[in-house]
Chain A
């Protein structure tokens, strides 16, 4: 008898044992979490955003609380792509044997190209996730994610030098996310991750100053779940590529909603900070949630809520 894994999904040619992926920036480079639980149960891991050169990031405070979520302005702290490949990936390889998503950021098209090319050559990297949506760095990231022309230019440049599937991680801080998504897909994107954080701000009334040293930060957590679902739903109708849904997912039920909106896989972000075992708990909850909803295989529900055409 053939046993099939009812949680398995396929992001194009990349098969995941389940759709649960810790989102970039909320799980480090993964290996430190192996001391908390067996991370090999995850579908994949989107590793900490990597840039061509090492970055310390923004001054402190980088974190502020929000109703049902938090603001962060970490500013892409990372040791740079060469150190990530020589120091971080081997440690992850020792405890994680599933496909890895390499999240890449840059400040110029040349930056993206250089970092993606290096990550593309790493065997365990299955997908390149190009972040054109970081709201916390100046002169980069988001600048590429708010114009269809710029987004297409990054996509084309990266596709020209890489072999692995390229996913563009899109920003919700735009008027029309569908036009950005379309531009990426027309330029050759193999898939899309949406959404990154929403730009927000808090004030410390005692100091009469912004809480964050960077003034603004990205809002994540349950507060943004409905917005993320809406954007996945809109983009899924316009773009024929796999979507990784991201934004405020905290429970198995949130995963089902995100997938019914059109996502093939789902990233879990802020929940990892509050509940270190959030991804493990969600994976364990999923079979019962599928039973309850009379779903055989989770892949059956991808886009189930989309209008019938």
Chain B
């Protein structure tokens, strides 16, 4: 974990309520896809844990959805704004040691941590299929970005105005997508449905309200087959087999 001041360089709306914030600063502690930063906002006591969509040692890109006062404040910030971040938090996704056939599943803003993961997997010569679930076309983002990385992209929308009508599990069935391993991030009902319906192993990234974000307050502990685990410290990524649904 590192605490550092970052400078906002871009903050653009990319879909309905979805923004991409780019920050430059010392990001040398961000080493794995699926890690998160904990961002201090003026006027709010608790930091905001936000997953890292993309990173280099000199900065991070954060995709976030406006859901409350904190994220609304983030959306109003202009380039040049200085922000206090804790970086390098959480375990991140594990990477396969050989080329494999991988399924990625992102529900809404849950697609964010899969972006850098896709880069990693393509770099390891994995075959990557990604299924992104949204409510409607207005909520869709990053479809082209994932394609440009070399992933096969499928979409589901609840409204049905683009892609398969229904949930990500409907798209997986409709396209008869097969894989050896999966990574997923999104709402709990989606993660639960995936863990139950996919007969191969995988990893999911969880979300929780956090007190500290670095393992000292026990505010985000969940019960797992290994006993209590902190979403912020042992997680946010857990193997399917560790979780109790």
Contact = CB atoms under 8 A, between A and B. Distances in A.
Interface of A: 25-28, 32-33, 35-36, 48, 56-57, 60-70, 72, 74, 77, 211, 221-222, 270, 272-277
Contacts of A221: 45
A48 B216 CA distance: 9
A28 B211 CA distance: 12
B74 interface: no
Given A48-B218, A74-B219, A272-B216, A69 B210 contact: no
B217 interface: yes
B68 to A, nearest CB: 9
Contacts of A65: 44-46
Contact of A70 (B45, B208, B221): B45
B86 interface: yes
A66 B221 CA distance: 21
B209 interface: yes
A35 B1 contact: yes
A35 B217 CA distance: 16
A64 B161 CA distance: 37
Contact of A273 (B211, B223, B228): B211
A67 B208 CA distance: 20
Contacts of B208: 60-61
Interface of A is mostly: loop
Contact of B219 (A36, A62, A274, A277): A62
A25 B228 contact: no
Interface string B181-216: 000000000000000000000000000111110111
Nearest to B213: A273
27 contacts: A25-B217, A28-B215, A32-B214, A36-B1, A36-B214, A48-B218, A56-B221, A56-B223, A60-B208, A60-B220, A63-B46, A63-B210, A63-B217, A63-B219, A63-B220, A64-B209, A65-B44, A66-B45, A67-B45, A72-B217, A72-B219, A211-B209, A272-B216, A273-B217, A274-B40, A276-B1, A276-B86
Given A60-B209, A65-B44, A273 B216 contact: yes
A28 B215 CA distance: 8
Contacts of B218: 25, 28, 48, 57, 62, 74, 77
Contacts of B15: none
Given A63-B210, A63-B211, A70-B211, A274 B217 contact: no
B3 A61 contact: no
Nearest to B86: A276
Contacts of B45: 65-70, 221-222, 270, 274
A35 B40 CA distance: 21
Contact of B217 (A26, A64, A67): A26
A248 B209 CA distance: 21
B212 A273 contact: yes
Contacts of B138: none
A234 to B, nearest CB: 27
A272 B214 CA distance: 11
A62 to B, nearest CB: 5
